[in-house]
Amino acid sequence: MTETQPAPARGLRAENVTVTFGRGDRAFTAVDSADLQVRPGEIVGLVGESGSGKSTLSRVICGLQREFDGKVSVDGREFAQKRTSAQWRIVQMVFQDPFASLDPRYTVRATLAEVIRHHRLASGAALWARCAELMEMVRLPAEFLDRTPTAMSGGQRQRVAIARALAVEPSIIVADEAVSALDVSVQAEIVALFARLREELDLSILFISHDLAVVKKLCERIYVIHNGRLVEENTTEEIFTSPRDDYTKTLLKAIPTFDSAYLDRIRRGEG
C-alpha cells in the first residue's frame, strides 16, 4: 500500500523568504527567512514599523521583487520569479498612495480599460459594462469613469486603485499601507470596503500596516515583523490579549485612537 501524499496547503504561502540588498560589507537583509500563509477567504494582517521589512515582503509576494531566496506559492503551485500573465492576475496589490499609483493623465475609464484589455478579459460593450461594474463594487458613481485622479479625493482615488486591482479577477489582494495616507474617517470606509469585498468576492487579503488599531478591526490573524524577521503570529484576539514578543507589546502600547464606532456604522450600511 502506498502512502497518500498530503494535499497541498490551500491559499497563499511564502516560505523561507529572504531578501538581501547589496553585497559584501554593504549587504543588508531586509527580510530574513519569513514564513507566512493566507488561507482562502481569510484576511491576515502583517504589522511592523517603518523599515521593518513588511513592504519588501509584500513586493516579493506580488512579484515586484524578483531577487529573493525561498518560494511563493498559491494552492501548492510555486510562482516562478518571472511570473506568467495568469500568475500576475492571481495576486494584486493596492499601494499606499493612490495618487502616485494612478496615472493623472488617464481617466478612470482609461485606467480600468487598459488593464482589462491587457489581460484580454473583455472588449467592446462588455469592456465598458465591466468598468461600470467595478465602480459599483467600490461604491463610486458611474460618472466617475470620466474623471481623472486630480478631480477626486484621496479616498475616492483609493477606491479606484482597488477597482483596478479587482479588474483582473484576483483571488488574493495585498493591501500595502492602503489606508495610512487617508483621514481617520476615510480609513474606516476603506477598511469596511475591504471587509465587504472579502465577503462578496471570496477574496483573500493580506493587509499590511504599522497601525494595530486598524488591523484589529479587519483581520482574523496577525503576523508581526521586526527588523526583517517575523517575530510573532497568532489570532488577532491572542495578539491583543496575550502578546508573547516584547516588540509586539511595544506596538500595542503605541496604538493611536481609532474611531471604531464610526467603522461599525459603516459596516452596517454603505461601506
Supply the pLDDT for residue 100. 85
Of 43, 31, 20, 41, whose CA–CA distance to 221 is shortest?
43
What is the model's pLDDT at position 1? 42
Confirm whether 21 is domain-assigned. Answer: yes
Q: How many domains does the chain have?
A: 1
Range(s) of the domain holding residue 46? 12-100+173-268
Q: What is the mean pLDDT of each run of 10 residues along the chain (271 residues)?
A: 57 95 88 96 94 93 92 92 87 89 93 95 95 96 95 94 96 92 87 94 94 89 96 95 93 68 56 51
CA–CA dist 132, 128 (Å, integer)? 6
What pLDDT is attached to residue 83?
87
Q: What is the pTM of this model?
A: 0.88
Q: Which long-range contacts (CB under 8 A, 24 or more apart) does 145-150 make?
A: 145/107, 145/108, 145/109, 145/112, 146/107, 146/108, 146/109, 147/107, 147/108, 148/104, 148/105, 148/106, 148/107, 148/108, 149/98, 149/99, 149/102, 149/103, 149/104, 149/106, 150/104
- Residue 159, domain member (yes or no): no
Q: What is the CATH number of the domain that holds 185?
A: 3.40.50.300
> Considering the domain boundaries, does residue 67 fall inside one?
yes
For residue 257, count other CB atoms closer than 10 A to its CB: 7
Classify residue 123: in a domain, yes or no. no
Q: Are 170 and 201 in contact (CB under 8 A)?
A: no
Residue 208 lies in a domain: yes
pLDDT of residue 12: 96
Let me know if residue 120 belongs to a domain.
no
pLDDT of residue 80: 83
Residue 96 is predicted with a pLDDT of 86
Residue 29 is predicted with a pLDDT of 93
Q: Is residue 124 part of a domain?
A: no
Nearest to 173 by CA among 181, 182, 184, 161: 161
| DSSP H or E segment with residue 236 | helix 236-241
| 166 belongs to a structural domain | no
